[in-house]
Structure 1
Amino acid sequence: MRIDAHQHFWVYSPEEFDWIGENERVLKRDYLPPALQSELNAQGIDGTVVVQARQSTVETQWLLSLAHEHPLIKGVVGWVDLMSPTLEEQLQRWQSASALKGFRHVIQDESDPNFMLQASFIKGLTLLHQYDYAYDLLIVASQLPQARQLLDKLPQHRIVIDHIAKPDIANGDGFAKWKEHMQSIAEKQNVYCKISGMVTEADHQKWQEEDFIPFMDVVFSAFGPERVMFGSDWPVCQLAATYPEVIQIVERYVARMYPEFSQHIFGLNAERFYRL
């Protein structure tokens, strides 16, 4: 299968999606599976992994209901309070939901840089591992030092870095530090990386395909093509690019640099990581 390993659905409301700014009007509407299906068909994508966009268990249940109705959804990355005293009970109830493959928290928005290093948070991640769930690590580049400390404590967990940890692609600031941290994290064989979310970290109006090459060079060199997976970040990507543009950035790079691993990057790695 060809898999888009990172996309979102929502029914828009200003209250629940207050992270969508005034200049991001393209996102201020409903995005549901039928709207994505034509894009997938045009690009030969067989299915997706849908990732939470709201931090509530209601979101998890809603995404699971979508997965039940729409075969294009091959896996769900939901949300759960990892520090909840009832976490294990919740995970036990979800064991029958075969589409649920993992969880995510929007760590990038936490004001405390050490949020992810709290003992209760790490305990929650350990429970996810015990129940065989993967974890999407959503951080920005400045949080990579804490992420390295976290990953030191979780040597067996299936963890994927979302959006190549959101480096400053538009200006290139901090590239050397981002590269150093990513190389260090990639030494951990249990950690994967999503080539996703790049266009929204670039200049939305003036980006060129060449802008992304140094960043993809780092990711592929560090993690290897066996631990990298493509994700569109649709519909958020539409702030800066169309679905075809997003996939072509990665397809052209892979065709030039890692042609023998195309099936892995666009499917097999996601299947293995999420156990689709």
Structure 2
Amino acid sequence: MMIDAHQHFWAYNPEEFDWIGEDERVLKRDYFPPALEAETGANGIDGTVVVQARQSIEETQWLLSLAQQFPLIKGIVGWVDLMSPNLEQQLLSWQNEQVLKGFRHVLQGEPDPNFMLQPRFVEGLKLLHQFDYAYDLLIFATQLPQARQLLDTLPQHRIVIDHIAKPDIASGEGFAQWKAHMQAIAEHQNVYCKISGMVTEANHKDWQEADFIPYMDVVFSAFGPERVMFGSDWPVCQLAATYTEVIQIVERYVTRLYPEFSQHVFGLNAERFYRL
């Protein structure tokens, strides 16, 4: 299967999606599976991993209900309160939900960069591992030092870095620091990386495909093509590119440098990581 390992659905309302600003009006509407099916069908994508966009149990339940209706959804990355005293009971209640593959917290939105290092948060992550759930690490590049500390405490947990840790592609600032941190993180063999979200970290109106090559060079060299997976970040990618353009950026790169690993980057790695 060809897998898009990172996309979102939502029923838009301004209260729950206050992160969508006035310059992002294209996102201020509902995004449901039929709209994505038109994109995936045109690009040969057989299935997707849908990732939470709201931090609530209701979000996870809603995504589970969508998966029952739309076979395109092969896996769900939901949300759960990792610091809740009822975490174990909540995870037990989902044990029969085979499509639920992992969880995510919007760490990039936490004002305290050390939020992820709180003992209760780390213990919650360790409990996810006991239940055999994967974890998506959503951070800005500036949070990579804390991420490195966190990953040192989780040597066995299946963890994937979302959006190559969101470096500032538009300006190129901080590239050397981002590269050093990513290379160090990649030494953890349990950690994967999603080639996703790049176009929205670039100049939305004036990006060039060449802008992304130095970043893909670092990720593929550090993690190896066996631990890299493609994700569109649809519909957020539409701020800067079409679904097809996002796929083609990665497709052309892989075809040129890692042609024998195309099926891994566009499917097999996601299947293995998320156990689809």
State TM-score, norm by structure 2: 1.00
Q: Which amino acid aligns with 2:145?
A: P
Q: Percent identity?
A: 82
CA distance in 2, matches of 1:60, 1:41: 25
Q: SS of the residue aligned with 2:29?
A: coil
- Hey, what does 2:128 align to over in structure 1? 128
Q: SS of the residue aligned with 1:24?
A: helix
- Hey, what does 1:235 align to over in structure 2? 235
- Hey, what does 1:141 align to over in structure 2? 141
- Hey, what does 1:100 align to over in structure 2? 100
* Post-superposition offset of 1:188: 0.3
CA distance in 2, matches of 1:47, 1:258: 22
- Hey, what does 2:33 align to over in structure 1? 33
- Hey, what does 1:207 align to over in structure 2? 207
- Hey, what does 1:79 align to over in structure 2? 79
Task: List, as ranges, runs of 4+ consecutive aligned residues in structure 1 with deviation greater than 4 Å.
Answer: none
- Hey, what does 1:157 align to over in structure 2? 157
* Post-superposition offset of 1:8: 0.1
Q: Which amino acid aligns with 1:69?
A: Q
The alignment covers a number of residue pairs equal to 276
Q: Which amino acid aligns with 1:151?
A: L
* Post-superposition offset of 1:46: 0.1
* Post-superposition offset of 1:15: 0.6
CA distance in 2, matches of 1:34, 1:213: 32
Q: SS of the residue aligned with 2:172?
A: coil
| 1:24-57 Cα distance to aligned partner (Å, 9 max, x none) | 0000000000000010011100000000000000
- Hey, what does 1:44 align to over in structure 2? 44
CA distance in 1, matches of 2:130, 2:88: 10
- Hey, what does 1:198 align to over in structure 2? 198
Q: Which amino acid aligns with 2:155?
A: P
* Post-superposition offset of 1:253: 0.1
Q: SS of the residue aligned with 1:205?
A: coil
Q: SS of the residue aligned with 1:97?
A: coil
Q: Which amino acid aligns with 2:169?
A: I
- Hey, what does 1:270 align to over in structure 2? 270
Unaligned runs of 5+ in 2: none
CA distance in 2, matches of 1:80, 1:204: 32
Q: SS of the residue aligned with 2:229?
A: strand
CA distance in 2, matches of 1:21, 1:96: 38
Q: SS of the residue aligned with 2:48?
A: strand
Q: Which amino acid aligns with 1:215?
A: Y
CA distance in 2, matches of 1:113, 1:104: 16
1:9 aligns with 2:9: yes
CA distance in 2, matches of 1:67, 1:223: 30
- Hey, what does 1:216 align to over in structure 2? 216
Unaligned runs of 5+ in 1: none
- Hey, what does 2:18 align to over in structure 1? 18
1:182 aligns with 2:193: no
Q: CA RMSD in A?
A: 0.3
1:114 aligns with 2:114: yes
CA distance in 2, matches of 1:171, 1:8: 27
CA distance in 2, matches of 1:16, 1:66: 19
Q: Which amino acid aligns with 1:118?
A: Q
